[in-house]
Amino acid sequence: MTHSENNMEETAEAVPVQSGVTSQGAGPSVELLPDAQPVGKYVKYYLLINVAVVVLLGIVVALTGFDPGSSIGVAVIICAAMATHHKFIMDNGRALLPVERRKLAWWANVFNILLTIAVALPIVGLAALAGQLDTLGIKEADLSVVFVAFLIIVGGAIQYFGIWFSLGRSSKFSLKAYEEKRAKQAAQEG
């Protein structure tokens, strides 16, 4: 296990939550908080959904000739983040804690950037070797290290906030679906 995977799995922080078990004592009741869950499983799920949506949209674009522009990246981030949060809620019966949401958004963003670089680097490299950068819409000046680093940093920051925001917005719908699922199970059992 690498150092980054260890960091994804650490959950030692005590964090507040919406619901919990109350402790009984001499003083006022105190809400006991659940432990934060490891997010590594959900980062992998996010990346799987992300790649699946990119492939699906790529097929649709190839078949229809539709040019979605850069807005398609936003749709991919929102779809993958909402599906991941829904999976978390179905597995754990609660929304992400703030610390889980930050970690999941951070690691999903890091691995998404690495995946993008791993896919783009060979394509750009082969195009550069063949002298065909212009077919990709890239100018030689666009390949400076400073410019590429700037794009990665700014793009990564925007993507992080997109993932983080989408993870939060999906709570209401996923929690409602979870409650409906539990109600059906209770009705079938009872």
Is it the case that residue 143 has pLDDT exceeding 80? no
Distance CA 158, CA 177 (A): 29
Which residue segment(s) compose the domain that 158 sits in? 38-189
In a domain, 22, yes or no: no
Q: Does residue 98 lie in a domain region?
A: yes
Residue 17 in domain: no
In a domain, 8, yes or no: no
| 16 lies in some domain | no
Please calculate the CA angle 178-162-97 and round it to the nearest 5 degrees.
45
**Structural domain contains residue 90:** yes
Contacts of residue 31, defined as CB under 8 A and 6 or more positions apart, other chains included, come to 17, 19, 20, 21, 22, 23
Report the domain count for the chain: 1
- Looking at residue 68, its pLDDT comes to 73
**pTM for the predicted model, two decimal places:** 0.70
In this structure, is residue 33 part of a structural domain? no
Angstrom distance (rounded) from CA 174 to CA 39: 18
pLDDT at 88: 92
- Of the pLDDT bands very low, low, confident and very high (cuts 50, 70, 90), residue 110 is very high
Q: Does residue 61 sit within a domain?
A: yes
Above pLDDT 90, what percent of the chain? 23
Q: What local confidence, expressed as pLDDT, does residue 22 receive?
A: 39
What is the pLDDT, as a whole number, of residue 61? 83
Report the chain's mean pLDDT, rounded to a whole number.
78
